[in-house]
Amino acid sequence: MTITNSEKISFWYDPDKRSIAYQVGAALLFAFVAWYLISNTMTNLDKQNIATGFGFLNNEASFEIGESLIEYSAADRYLRALSVGFLNTLLVSFIGILLTVILGTFLGIARLSKNWLINKCATAYIELFQDIPILLQLFFWYAFFYEMLPSPRQAVNPFNGLFLCNRGLIFGIPAAHPVYKYMVIAVVLAAIIIFFIKKWAKKRQDLTGKPFPLFSMSIILLIGFPFICWLIGGAPTQMDVPMLKGFNFKGGLAISPEFAALLLGLVLYTAAFVAEVVRAGIQSVSKGQTEAAMAIGLKPGQLLNLIILPQALRVIIPPLTSQMLNLTKNSSLAVAIGYPDFVSVAGTAINQTGQAIEGVMLIMIVYLIFSLSTSAFMNWYNKKMKLVER
């Protein structure tokens, strides 16, 4: 029987009304489950006389942290201790992502090389590091630095000011001087100028067809501006050279075995996956594009930079974003080798205060911030690099 427009459809036979009912029911069920879990948790905490809230962040931490980018002591608050862990995680993630993208891109291109040796070496690397769990790799590099390297008194000293031992890599750095602050400002200023020169050079090339030597100009600005500041500031040459005192080195800058093992493990593991992403992106570009570029006389470097990579990026960027997020999240394994990242510091705070729920919530929020900020940046870059048909 056909239903006319004038006849009313039963509620359960109207798909629009039924879908609304299902959504309202699901929302109510979720709210009930959330209320039950929260109320049950609060009741159990009250029975065990466990305080709730984030007031513990203002209490004295009473524990030391081996590595810190900011000044910290056991007398500081938990909030500052967690800030140290946050910065340590940010540092290893940022450096790790940069090195992973560079190494993974190189391996991905090498994987497609026509040279038999380069191709097989890249393939062997990718297969090896992809198939070994990241945690085992971290344990291996941690054991390598502590078991394979000599003690500080027998440290490897390839040249003056550089030492390698089971306490890490220790090397000399320029002694503190006010001019170095202005050199950093000069680098930032040079980067801003390069940004505007790049935009101008692109417009100029679109109008006239004449390329501008942007790379050479960028190198000149990035080196020249700080060098001029260094000369004006008196050209200081004094170095803070590490010296062996007792059982360890004093002075200079030290990269701890924990940090080195974590960074090395994350980079080598993730770069193997990034290499496959780059390889797939390059292979997605039609061979006709390569043949056409070669026909007009483009050199291999120009072919890669002007033809292949711009088109391959639309395929590379989405999975590359996932690998960046994986590296950041895998950095939480630092607790297994003693590097004081955010998870490690938060775990110590939980053990001392008993604020397990609050501590876990902070860990979740911090990694959510890392993930969302990385995704936002890569989404912006993806939109910027998309191909526009004219």
> What single DSSP character describes residue 333?
G
Q: In the listed set 234, 260, 279, which residue is the last one of a domain according to the structure?
A: 234
Would 58 be classed as within a structural domain?
Answer: no
Same domain membership, residue 280 and residue 263: yes
For residues 290 and 348, the model is more confident at 348
290 with 320, same domain? yes
Q: Are residues 130 and 277 in the same domain?
A: yes
Q: Is the pLDDT of residue 305 over 80?
A: no
Q: Are residues 221 and 279 in the same domain?
A: no
Report whether pLDDT(5) > 70: no
219 lies in the same domain as 254: no
DSSP E strand stretches across 190-329: 239-240, 243-245, 248-250, 253-255
CATH number for the domain harbouring residue 323? 1.10.3720.10
- Pair (259, 365) in one structural domain: yes
Task: Classify residue 327: in a domain, yes or no.
Answer: yes
Give CA torsion, residues 44, 47, 51, 54, to 10 deg.
Answer: 20
Q: Please report whether residue 244 resides in a domain.
A: yes
Confidence (pLDDT) at 6: 46
pTM confidence score: 0.82
Q: Are 165 and 146 in contact (CB under 8 A)?
A: no
118 lies in which domain range? Answer: 78-175+238-385
When divided into structural domains, the chain yields a total of 2
CA distance 256 to 341: 13
Give 341's DSSP letter: -
pLDDT value of position 8: 59
For the beta carbon of residue 67, count every other beta carbon within 10 angstroms: 19
Percent of the chain with pLDDT over 90: 38
The predicted pLDDT at position 387 comes to 61
User: Is there a domain that residue 30 lies in?
Assistant: no
pLDDT for position 265 = 94
For residues 150 and 244, membership in a common domain is answered with yes
Q: Do 190 and 102 sit in the same domain of this protein?
A: no
- Residue 77 pairs with which residues in a beta bridge? 60
**Residue 20 counted as domain residue:** no
The confidence band for 7, taking pLDDT boundaries of 50, 70 and 90, is low
Tally Cβ neighbours within 10 Å of residue 240. 16
Structure tokens belonging to residue 326: 């994986």
The verdict on 293 and 152 lying in the same domain is yes
Q: Which amino acid belongs to residue 239? A: M
CB 104 within 8 Å of CB 280: no
Q: Which of 212, 234, 256 is the last residue of a domain?
A: 234
Q: How confident is the model at residue 1, as a pLDDT?
A: 46
Q: Is residue 17 part of a domain?
A: no
Q: What is the pLDDT of residues 161-216, one digit of tens each?
A: 788 888 888 888 888 888 888 899 999 999 999 999 988 988 887 788 777 888 88
- Rounded to the nearest 10°, the torsion over CA 353, 357, 363, 364 is -170
185 and 138 both lie in a single domain = no
| Residue 381 is assigned to a structural domain of this protein | yes
Is-contact 174 236, C-beta < 8 A? yes
Residues 99 and 227 in one domain: no
Residues 283 and 352 in one domain: yes
Q: Does residue 207 belong to any structural domain of this protein?
A: yes
- Quick check: 150 and 166 in contact, CB under 8 A? yes
